[in-house]
Amino acid sequence: MVLSILQGARILATGSAVPDLCVKNEELSKIVDTSNEWIVNRTGIQERRILNKKEESIITLASLASIKALKNASMNPLDIDLIILATSSPNDLFGSAAQVQAEIGAYNAVAFDLTAACSGFVLGIITAAQFIQNGSYHNILVIGADVLSKWIDWSDRNTCILFGDGAGAVIIQSCAKEDNGILGFQLNTNGKEAHQLSIPYEKNYIIKTRNDILDINQGQFKYLHMNGKEVYKFAVSQVPISISKCLKSLNILPEHVQWLLLHQANKRILHAVANRLSISFNKIISNLNKYGNTSAASIPLALDEAIKDKKIKKDDIIVISGFGAGLTWGTVVIQWKC
Ligand code: ACO
- For 59-113, the three-class secondary structure string (H helix, E strand, C coil) is HHHHHHHHHHHHHHCCCCHHHCCEEEEECCCCCCCCCCHHHHHHHHCCCCCEEEE
Dihedrals phi, psi of 275, to nearest 5 degrees: -55, -50
Q: What angle do CA 81, 135, 260 make, to 5 degrees?
A: 80
pLDDT band for position 218 (cuts 50, 70, 90): confident
Instruction: State how far the Cα of 179 lies from the Cα of 160, in Å rounded to an integer.
Output: 43
Average confidence (pLDDT) over 56-83: 97
Residues labelled catalytic = 118, 263, 293
Could you tell me which residues come within 8 angstroms of residue 229 by beta carbon, excluding any fewer than 6 positions away? Answer: none
Query: Which atom of ligand 1 is closest in space to residue 43's alpha carbon?
Result: 34
Average confidence (pLDDT) over 110-132: 97
The chain-wide mean pLDDT, for the chain, equals 96
Half-sphere exposure of 178 (CA within 13 A, CB side): 0
Do 49 and 293 touch, CB atoms closer than 8 A? no
- Has domain 8-178 been given CATH number 3.40.47.10? yes
Structure confidence at residue 2 (pLDDT) = 64
Using alpha carbons, select from 71, 108, 115 the residue that is nearest to residue 89. Answer: 115
What separation, in Å, do the N-terminal and C-terminal C-alpha atoms of the chain show?
24
pLDDT in tens, 31-53: 999 999 999 999 999 999 999 87
Find how far residue 61's CA is from the centre of its chain: 14
Query: String of b and e for 183-194 (b: at least 16 CB within 10 Å)?
Result: bbbbbbeeeeee
Using alpha carbons, select from 148, 175, 191, 109 the residue that is nearest to residue 297. Answer: 148
Query: Which atom of ligand 1 is closest in space to residue 265's alpha carbon?
Result: 44
Ligand 1 surroundings by CB, under 6 angstroms: 34, 38, 42-43, 117-118, 157-158, 161, 197, 228-229, 231-232, 235, 265-266, 269, 293, 295, 324-325
Instruction: State how far the Cα of 242 lies from the Cα of 190, in Å rounded to an integer.
Output: 13
Compute, in angstroms, the gap from residue 294 CA to the centroid of ligand 1. Answer: 17
Per domain, the residue ranges of the chain are 8-178, 182-193+225-335
Structure confidence at residue 217 (pLDDT) = 85
**Residue 210 predicted with pLDDT over 80:** no
**Residue 1 predicted with pLDDT over 80:** no
Structure confidence at residue 204 (pLDDT) = 83
Residue 36, classed as helix, strand or coil, is helix
**Which of 121, 158, 268 to probe ligand 1 with, by most ligand atoms within 8 A of CB?**
158
**Residue 132 predicted with pLDDT over 90:** yes
pLDDT in tens, 238-285: 999 999 999 999 999 999 999 999 999 999 999 999 999 999 999 999
Nearest CA to ligand 1 atom 8: 158
In this prediction, what percent of the chain has a pLDDT beyond 90? Answer: 91
195 versus 1: the higher-pLDDT residue is 195
Structure confidence at residue 155 (pLDDT) = 96
Instruction: State how far the Cα of 59 lies from the Cα of 63, in Å rounded to an integer.
Output: 6
Name the CATH code of domain 182-193+225-335 (choices 3.40.630.30, 3.40.50.300, 3.40.47.10, 3.90.1010.10).
Answer: 3.40.47.10
Structure confidence at residue 208 (pLDDT) = 78
Compute, in angstroms, the gap from residue 274 CA to the centroid of ligand 1. Answer: 21
Do 303 and 285 touch, CB atoms closer than 8 A? yes
Structure confidence at residue 214 (pLDDT) = 81
In this prediction, what percent of the chain has a pLDDT beyond 70? Answer: 99
Nearest CA to ligand 1 atom 7: 157
Query: Which atom of ligand 1 is closest in space to residue 119's alpha carbon?
Result: 50
pTM here is: 0.95
Q: Look at strands 110-114 and 82-86 and give their pairing.
A: parallel
Instruction: State how far the Cα of 259 lies from the Cα of 261, in Å rounded to an integer.
Output: 6
pLDDT in tens, 150-197: 999 999 999 999 999 999 999 999 999 999 999 999 999 999 999 999
- Angstrom distances, CA of residue 136 to CA of 7, 9, 80, 139: 10, 12, 13, 10
Compute, in angstroms, the gap from residue 162 CA to the centroid of ligand 1. Answer: 9
Q: Do domains 8-178 and 182-193+225-335 have the same CATH topology?
A: yes
pLDDT band for position 3 (cuts 50, 70, 90): low
pLDDT in tens, 295-307: 999 999 999 999 9
